[in-house]
Amino acid sequence: IKDFQIELELTETQELVRSTSSIETLIRLREHGFDVAIDDFGKGYSSLSSLHMFPASTFKIDSYFSQQLDEDSNVIHIIEGVIVFAHKQGIKVLFEGIENKTVDQKIRAIDSDYGQGYYYSRPIHQDKILEFYQNNDGYIFKNKKAKLKSVLE
């Protein structure tokens, strides 16, 4: 396995995300080609100052916000701002908890990079992953504005 194939995932609610020594270690890992994702983004400790310093390659937007996109139209403005910020920093955005077509269409429309959830697939046993990937040509769907890959749980 190559370093660029590994993504370290830290939950935003972990104190580790705010530790200076941890951030320095993660910066070194990024310099060596590893990706770093902040899981459950929007649910924890991140402030604008810590986001500026944190060497993330992916924000995994907490499923709470995916649910709110379906229920509260005002949430979309917050999420659009996060996506613009992330993309300007070279950070990919993944929405967790996509469970229906409406939310899928909304995250595509606001330029999310990836989607994850039961709408795309239930968890798959490791013996079936390759078959699933081949049957779906590597993608659940393709979109000119955003290529949203199914992220298997």
CA 143 to CA 77: how far, in whole Å?
22
The C-alpha atoms of residue 120 and residue 101 are separated, in whole angstroms, by 10
Average pLDDT over residues 21-45: 83
Task: Tell me the pLDDT band of 135, cut-offs 50, 70 and 90.
Answer: confident
Which tokens in the block code for residue 35? 């990706």
Model confidence pLDDT, tens digit, residues 38-62: 887 777 666 566 666 778 899 999 9
Which pLDDT score is estimated for 92? 92
Structure tokens at 116: 């994850």
Residue 152 has pLDDT above 60, yes or no: no
CA dihedral over 130, 134, 135, 138, signed as positive or negative: positive
| Mean per-residue pLDDT, 84-110 | 92
Report the pLDDT value the prediction gives residue 38, as an integer from 0 to 100: 83
Record the pTM. Answer: 0.75
Nearest Cα residue to 9 out of 84, 79, 106, 96: 96
| Overall size of the chain counted in residues | 153
Q: Cα–Cα distance between 49 and 11 in angstroms, integer?
A: 17
The catalytic residue positions are 96
Cα-based distances in Å from 36 to 10, 25, 26, 130: 8, 11, 8, 24
Structural domains in the chain, CATH included, are 3-118 (3.20.20.450)
Q: Tell me the average pLDDT across 15-23.
A: 69
C-alpha 88/C-alpha 59 separation (Å) is 13
- Cα separation, 73 vs 113, whole angstroms: 20
